[in-house]
């Protein structure tokens, strides 16, 4: 069985973070493991409280996982402080980790900030160069590239800046654009659009986490990067199309849709 590790925050409401990642990896037939960076008390309406783990405890979780069940691929999500980022960067190097998807989570769908400013600099300087793929959404891509994104051309320019600066592939997600759900992939001085039909569903809590952990699952199974992105986007579209409607705010996706025989693309 292929194995994957998520290094991320726990979401008590189960729609994003560690819980979304484990559900997604599991329905892809991949053995999921976790190293938790923070506990969040959150629901579909917002993040009520965050409790970070200590760098020592994160370090121990990573050591416990890597020295026993080596992950074939790794997803990194919410990491809110520079000390935790340093620990992750050090362990990824020490254990020679491969197939690393970094989702630079900064703000939850509900608007709550999930990272501090110093940590953003550490992400850029210590973690991004180790990534196989970075998956910023549009607001994150604006912060990371220093460019305002209003058009498709702006998305290409921002992705180029990030890809060239960090020497990694970038998938700039277009879920925050108004009419489309097209994601822009940039690697090796070339770009490609991953076109998605926009689904009218206001329950989008955890779309970013789910997409990045689906990509990670496919990488663990040995798919190449572009194929992994196509397959993951198809999975995500099905999870939105299943129209689960839970909670009072922006609710979670139906992660199990692909086990139920419906919603074929």
Ligand X SMILES: Nc1ncnc2c1ncn2[C@@H]1O[C@H](COP(=O)(O)OP(=O)(O)OP(=O)(O)O)[C@@H](O)[C@H]1O
The residue ranges that bind ligand MP5 (CB under 6 A) are 8-9, 11, 16-17, 40, 77-78, 105, 108-109, 205-209
CB atoms within 10 A of CB 224: 9
Binder of residue 77, out of ligand X, ligand MP5, none (CB less than 5 to 8 A by kind): ligand MP5
Report the C-alpha dihedral over residues 255, 259, 261, 264, rounded to 10 degrees. Answer: 50
Catalytically annotated residue among 9, 196, 208, 251: 208
Interface residue list for ligand X (CB under 6 A): 16, 109, 137, 173-176, 181, 183, 196, 198-199, 201, 204, 206-209, 211, 233, 236-237, 240
Catalytically annotated residue among 15, 17, 196, 206: 206
Minimum CB separation from ligand MP5 for residue 167, in Å? 25
Quick one: how far is CA 209 from the chain centroid?
4
**C-alpha separations of 95 from 2, 53, 85, 89, 122 in Å:** 18, 21, 16, 10, 20
For 107, the token pair is: 């703000």
Return all residues near 117 (Cβ < 8 A) that are at least 6 apart. none
Provide the H-helix boundaries in 28-151.
Answer: 55-66, 82-94, 117-122, 138-145
Binder of residue 216, out of ligand MP5, ligand X, none (CB less than 5 to 8 A by kind): none
Catalytically annotated residue among 44, 109, 204, 210: 204
Instruction: Choose among 208, 260, 198, 263: nearest CA to 27.
Output: 260
Asked if residues 32 and 51 have their Cβ atoms less than 8 Å apart, the reply is: no
Minimum CB separation from ligand MP5 for residue 222, in Å? 27
* SS3 label, residue 216: helix
Q: Give whichever of 98 and 241 is closer to ligand X, judged by the CB atom.
A: 241
Q: Give whichever of 173 and 255 is closer to ligand X, judged by the CB atom.
A: 173
Binder of residue 251, out of ligand X, ligand MP5, none (CB less than 5 to 8 A by kind): none
Minimum CB separation from ligand MP5 for residue 39, in Å? 9
Minimum CB separation from ligand MP5 for residue 203, in Å? 10
Binder of residue 176, out of ligand MP5, ligand X, none (CB less than 5 to 8 A by kind): ligand X
Q: Give whichever of 109 and 168 is closer to ligand MP5, judged by the CB atom.
A: 109
| Catalytic site includes residue 206 | yes
Asked if residues 35 and 50 have their Cβ atoms less than 8 Å apart, the reply is: no
| Catalytic site includes residue 172 | no
Minimum CB separation from ligand X for residue 208, in Å? 2
| Catalytic site includes residue 173 | yes
Catalytically annotated residue among 75, 130, 173, 254: 173
Return all residues near 96 (Cβ < 8 A) that are at least 6 apart. none
Q: Give whichever of 40 and 207 is closer to ligand X, judged by the CB atom.
A: 207
Distance CA 39, CA 45 (A): 17
> What positions carry a catalytic annotation?
173, 204, 206-209
């Amino acid at each position: 069985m292929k194995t994957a590790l998520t290094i991320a925050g726990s979401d008590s409401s189960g729609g994003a973070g560690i819980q979304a990642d484990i559900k997604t990896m599991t329905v892809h037939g991949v053995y999921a493991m976790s190293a938790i960076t923070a506990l969040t008390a959150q629901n579909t309406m917002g993040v009520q409280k965050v409790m970070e783990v200590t760098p020592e405890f994160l370090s121990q979780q990573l050591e416990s996982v890597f020295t026993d069940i080596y992950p074939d691929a790794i997803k990194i999500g919410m990491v809110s402080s520079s000390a935790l980022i340093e620990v992750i960067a050090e362990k990824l190097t020490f254990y020679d980790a491969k197939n690393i998807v970094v989702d630079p989570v900064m703000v939850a769908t509900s608007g709550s900030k999930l990272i501090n400013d110093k940590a953003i600099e550490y992400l850029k300087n210590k973690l991004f160069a180790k990534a196989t793929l970075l998956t910023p959404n549009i607001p994150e891509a604006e912060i990371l590239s220093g460019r305002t994104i209003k058009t498709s051309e702006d998305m290409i320019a921002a992705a180029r800046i990030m890809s060239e600066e960090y020497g990694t592939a970038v998938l700039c997600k277009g879920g925050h654009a108004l009419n489309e759900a097209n994601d822009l992939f940039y690697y090796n001085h070339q770009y490609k659009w991953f076109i998605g039909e926009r689904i009218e569903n206001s329950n989008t809590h955890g779309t970013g986490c789910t997409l990045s952990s689906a990509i990670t699952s496919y990488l663990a199974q040995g798919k190449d990067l572009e194929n992994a992105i196509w397959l993951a986007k198809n999975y995500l579209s099905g999870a939105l199309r299943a129209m689960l409607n839970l909670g009072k705010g922006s609710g979670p996706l139906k992660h199990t849709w692909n086990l139920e025989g419906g919603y074929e693309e």
